[in-house]
Structure formats: C-alpha cells, structure tokens
C-alpha cells in the first residue's frame, strides 16, 4: 500500500521573509532563463530584417515580433530589478531625463507608427535625477507602450516638467472601477485590446515605489488617460 505524503509540519512552515526570498529567487532565475531564447529571437529577427526580398506583409509581421521581444526584454529587466531585496539598493547615478527619454521614444516609435499615432513631445524642462536609469527606462517604456496599446486614433503626448514626466493619450480611457484596479497584476478591464499580459502598469507602479517616485493616473472613458510620474527627492538642484 503506497504511503501517503507526510503532513506539513507547522513548526517548519516558511516565514514571510523566507517566502519572499523564494519568490525573489524564482523571479530572478526565471528571468535569466528567459533571456537566452529572447536574445536568439532578437538576433534572428535582426538578420531577417536585412533580407531585401521580404514582402511588405512579412515586414509588418517582423516588426511586431521585434516589438514583442523588446517589450519582453523590458519586462525581464523590471522583474530583475524588483527581485532585489529592499536591503539591496538599486544602482543610482546622475543623469538627465531628456537624454534617457530620447532612447525610450526610439524604442516605442515603431509601435506608434504602425498604428499611425502622432507623437508630441513637450520638453519644458530637463530634470537632473539621481536615480537608477534602467528603472526609469522600464517605467517610461511601459507607460508609453500602454498608451499606444489603448489608443487607436489621435496621439500620444509626452510632457517633461521640472519634477515629472506626463504621458497623455487619446485612447479608450478608464472608468472609475477600472482606474481603481489599474495597478493590480494581470488585471484587464472591459474593452481591453488583445496583446499584453496585464503587467505593464503594475510593474511600472511597483518600480516607481521602489525608487521613491509617485505614479498617478487620470482617465476619462472615451477620451484618454494621463499618467504622471513624479520624481520627488530624486530631482537634483
């Protein structure tokens, strides 16, 4: 007669700190494992892009593959940052927001062009931050990708102010109930378009908190959403 599995011993149940450590270890290991196949896909798609014989339809499909890979790599970067314990400080340095924003906009520009969305940049200031640049790149990338995903016509407007960056779209917007749950992992409101895993806003919010920033959302159904990332004490004089 097969023996039954022993009952868990309450005395040896993992503590909250141990559970958190296990979750962080799993997230870190899984993220590293995902990097290899994504790198292969990215390198292969870069090679295919140089084929002059590709049809226009194939080029559009290839562009979407490359966008998906870039999005997944950004998510992995975010998960690796979040997997670090609170006692391990993120690598901060002084940098100008405008220079980093230019790089992020170049990554999201193909997605906007594919949907024929206008991109408006209003740089009223160029804050100098002391912060982790990788974290800001992931947060802004997720917010921009989210704005493009939920906007079918019109524009995405980016404003850089002395203490914040605002990303405003003319998309489907959110009602009060959806807005209240927007930062929950994997939450997808009614009318959510296909694509995306429901992690973008959640990851952006958690990373912002980790860096001491504040992420706010204002939205009106049928008119669009404005995401404001306030830097607080990270702004240098």
DSSP string, the chain: -PPPPPPP-GGGPPPHHHHHHHHHHHHHHHHHHHHHHHHHHHHHHHHHTT-TT--HHHHHHHHHHHHHHHHHHHHHHHHHHHHS-TTS----EEEEHHHHHHHHHHHHHHHHHHTT-EEEEEES---EEEE-HHHHHHHHHHHHHHHHHT-SSSEEEEEEETTEEEEEE-S----HHHHHTTTSTT---TTPPSS--S-HHHHHHHHHHHHT-EEEEEEETTTEEEEEEE-GGGB--
Instruction: Give start-end residues of each CATH 1.10.287 domain in the chain.
Output: 15-83
Most confident of 75-84, 183-192, 199-208, 216-225: 216-225
pLDDT for res 28: 66
Label residue 3 by pLDDT band (50, 70, 90).
very low
Label residue 134 by pLDDT band (50, 70, 90).
confident
* 8 Å CB contact between 151 and 115: yes
CATH number, domain 93-234: 3.30.565.10
Residue 99 has pLDDT above 70, yes or no: yes
pLDDT for res 120: 96
CATH number, domain 15-83: 1.10.287
What digits encode the pLDDT tens for the residues 41-63?
888 988 898 888 888 889 888 88
What digits encode the pLDDT tens for the residues 11-27?
566 676 666 566 666 66
Strands 155-161, 224-230: pairing is unpaired
Strands 164-169, 128-131: pairing is unpaired
Instruction: Give start-end residues of each CATH 3.30.565.10 domain in the chain.
Output: 93-234
pLDDT for res 199: 63
Residue 4 has pLDDT above 60, yes or no: no
143 Cβ neighbours under 8 A, 6+ residues apart? 167, 200, 201, 204, 227, 229
Q: Crossing angle of helices 200-211/133-149, nearest 10°? A: 150
| Mean pLDDT taken over the chain | 82
Label residue 1 by pLDDT band (50, 70, 90).
very low
């Amino acid at each position: 007669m097969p023996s039954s599995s022993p009952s868990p011993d309450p005395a040896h149940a993992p503590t909250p700190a141990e559970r958190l450590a296990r979750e962080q270890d799993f997230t870190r290991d899984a993220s590293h494992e995902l990097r290899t196949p994504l790198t292969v896909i990215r390198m292969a798609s870069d090679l295919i892009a140089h084929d002059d014989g590709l049809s226009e339809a194939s080029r559009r499909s290839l562009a979407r593959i490359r966008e998906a890979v870039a999005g997944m790599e950004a998510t992995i970067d975010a998960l690796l940052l979040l997997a670090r314990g609170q006692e391990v400080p993120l690598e901060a340095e002084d940098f100008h927001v405008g220079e980093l924003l230019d790089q992020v906009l170049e990554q999201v520009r193909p997605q906007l062009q594919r949907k024929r969305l206008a991109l408006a940049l209003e740089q009223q200031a160029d804050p100098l931050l002391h912060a982790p640049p990788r974290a800001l790149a992931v947060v802004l990338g997720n917010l921009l990708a989210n704005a493009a995903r939920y906007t079918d016509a019109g524009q995405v407007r980016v404003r850089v102010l002395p203490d914040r960056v605002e990303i405003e779209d003319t998309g489907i917007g959110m009602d009060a109930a959806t807005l209240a749950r927007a930062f929950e992992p994997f939450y997808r409101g009614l009318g959510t378009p296909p694509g995306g895993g429901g992690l973008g806003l959640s990851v952006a919010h958690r990373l912002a908190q980790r860096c001491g920033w504040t992420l706010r959302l204002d939205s009106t159904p049928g008119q669009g959403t404005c995401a404001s990332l306030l830097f607080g004490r990270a702004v240098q004089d």
